[in-house]
Amino acid sequence: MNNQASLQNVSINFSSNEVENWEVMIDDSQIKQVLINLIQNAIEAIIDEGTITISLSHVNVYDSSYIQIQIVDSGDGMTKEEQKSIFTPFHSSKEQGLGLGLSICKDIIESHKGILTVSSVKHDGTTFKILLPE
């Protein structure tokens, strides 16, 4: 993945906000699969050169504590219409895509009692947020 990022002049930055002492019960191989898929999609969304920022933080939502993993890319972004269907199985914007990656990611996160969201602006990048309960 780093090789592809380098070939496309994509820099990947990481930041964490004091999360080393927090505990989350996860299947690490499944969460790794989700992260690889989201980062790979972010790399592919960047045409010539750009940035991907991955951040880890603690958030409270509706009186519940979560670890938040945020993946922000400076790629082409998506329209609101495109965002509505990205988690639908067999929907793909890629010529060679099967349309299962993001659907599987959402299922994995939800099986961990978590939340996966997307926000994007056409021509201005995309943000995926993963919330995993502590």
Q: Decide: 109 and 34 in contact? Cβ < 8 Å.
A: yes
pLDDT at 22: 74
Identify the CA nearest to 24 among candidates 71, 64, 72.
64
pLDDT digits (tens, 9 = 90+) for 71-100: 999 999 999 988 888 888 766 666 665 567
| Rounded CA separation 9/68 (Å) | 27
Say if strands 50-61 and 115-120 run parallel, antiparallel, or are unpaired.
unpaired
User: Mind listing the pLDDT tens digit for each residue in 33-82?
Assistant: 999 999 999 999 998 889 999 999 999 888 889 999 999 999 999 999 88
pTM of the model: 0.87
CATH superfamily of 2-18+39-133: Histidine kinase-like ATPase, C-terminal domain (3.30.565.10)
Single-letter code of the amino acid located at 49: E
Q: Note the pLDDT of residue 7.
A: 57
